[in-house]
């Protein structure tokens, strides 16, 4: 069976690794063979692949992480996203090890992403910060390690309590460390063998270009906010043109918080109707939209039914007209980092 995937990638399946490989072609529709409801693996261009959808753990509260990640793995997720900032790396690692012990998965079956926090940008702090995440996750290696943002903050220590340095007036304390120097330090982590791939998060096109100019090891991924209200098409295309995959955080538009004018597609009557056409929920339609944009969504939910629904999005395809309607929600990003607006490397003033 063939279905149309309206995106800028040509996709091909590799039976050995079940890899979905992207190449660059003009803006036309390409066809791919739909193999199953399973999540395809996307080629990172460095010998490794990343599952095309993951489970995000940003909002997983302490005490929840183990159970939620176990449920995600049982539901079929093989891509788990965490970060030092989330304070749940220990629980994420424990859940994965438990599922390995149960024989549900092998280490090589699951893709784990973590991130270097902003206070650790100085080259002298990168290795120690990574080692702490590595030890907390406690697996043989980390698949992907991202620089959480281009904006460094003042280093005050390696504890969770040191993550948000502020002056006496409550203003964020910036560091002026150039993220290019941070990247060079991150490249050494790959050479250590403890992390397989490195990448970026919240970087704009100009900042990515600076990294590419000096990179000995190129970034394979940029994790950014993408949802119907902020679809980032230009940045996605830029990343694609440089063989950089895009992970989409906040795929539902972050309905749990103030969204700065972001228009949500959740609950929209026509989106609900589109879902009914395919036997899907509005959330599943949104995730399918993001997949057809060429991103890797990492939805989060505490509800087991929703966790299962969120991964069941590879057995249908939106039409061109439906994609255009989803585009109509374009409005504002939900996470503009207001406290960091004056930072030297603030990424959101560029066009994309």
Residues acting as catalytic residues: 86
**Local structure of 248: helix, strand or coil:** strand
* Cα dihedral sign, 133-137-142-145: negative
Residue closest to 265 by CA, chosen among 246, 241, 287: 287
Q: In whole angstroms, what is the distance from residue 225 CA to residue 203 CA?
A: 10
Q: What is the DSSP string of 137-161?
A: HTSS-EEEEEES-S--B----SSGG
- State the residue for tokens 């990448």: 199
Residue closest to 200 by CA, chosen among 146, 245, 242: 146
**Local structure of 88: helix, strand or coil:** coil
Contacts of residue 134, defined as CB under 8 A and 6 or more positions apart, other chains included, come to 142, 194, 195
């Amino acid at each position: 069976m063939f279905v149309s995937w309206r995106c800028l990638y040509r996709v091909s399946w590799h039976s050995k690794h079940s890899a979905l490989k992207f190449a660059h072609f003009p803006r036309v529709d390409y066809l791919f063979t739909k193999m199953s409801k399973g999540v395809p693996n996307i080629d990172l261009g460095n010998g490794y692949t990343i599952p095309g959808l993951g489970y995000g753990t940003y909002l997983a509260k302490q005490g929840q992480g183990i159970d939620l990640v176990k449920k995600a793995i049982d539901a079929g997720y093989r891509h788990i996203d965490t970060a030092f900032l989330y304070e749940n790396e220990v629980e994420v690692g424990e859940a994965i090890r438990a599922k390995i012990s149960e024989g549900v998965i092998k280490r090589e079956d699951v893709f784990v992403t973590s991130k270097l926090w902003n206070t650790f940008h100085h080259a002298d702090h990168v290795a120690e910060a990574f080692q702490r995440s590595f030890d907390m996750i406690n697996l043989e290696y980390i698949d992907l390690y991202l620089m959480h943002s281009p904006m460094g903050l003042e280093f005050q220590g390696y504890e969770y309590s040191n993550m948000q340095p502020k002056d006496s007036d409550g203003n964020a304390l910036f560091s002026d460390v150039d993220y290019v120097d941070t990247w060079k330090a991150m490249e050494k982590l790959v050479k250590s063998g403890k992390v397989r791939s490195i990448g970026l998060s919240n970087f704009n096109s100009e900042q990515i270009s600076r990294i590419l100019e000096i990179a000995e090891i190129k970034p394979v991924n940029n994790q950014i906010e993408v949802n119907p209200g902020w679809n980032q098409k230009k940045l996605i295309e830029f990343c694609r043109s440089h063989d950089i995959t895009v992970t989409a955080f906040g795929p539902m538009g972050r309905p749990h918080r103030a969204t700065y004018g972001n228009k949500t597609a959740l609950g929209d009557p026509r989106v609900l109707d589109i879902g009914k056409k395919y036997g899907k929920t509005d959330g599943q339609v949104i995730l399918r939209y993001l997949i057809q944009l060429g991103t890797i969504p990492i939805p989060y939910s505490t509800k087991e039914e929703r966790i299962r629904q969120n991964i069941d999005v590879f057995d249908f395809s939106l039409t061109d007209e439906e994609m255009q309607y989803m585009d109509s929600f374009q409005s504002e990003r939900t996470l503009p980092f207001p406290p960091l607006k004056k930072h030297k490397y603030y990424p959101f003033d560029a066009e994309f």
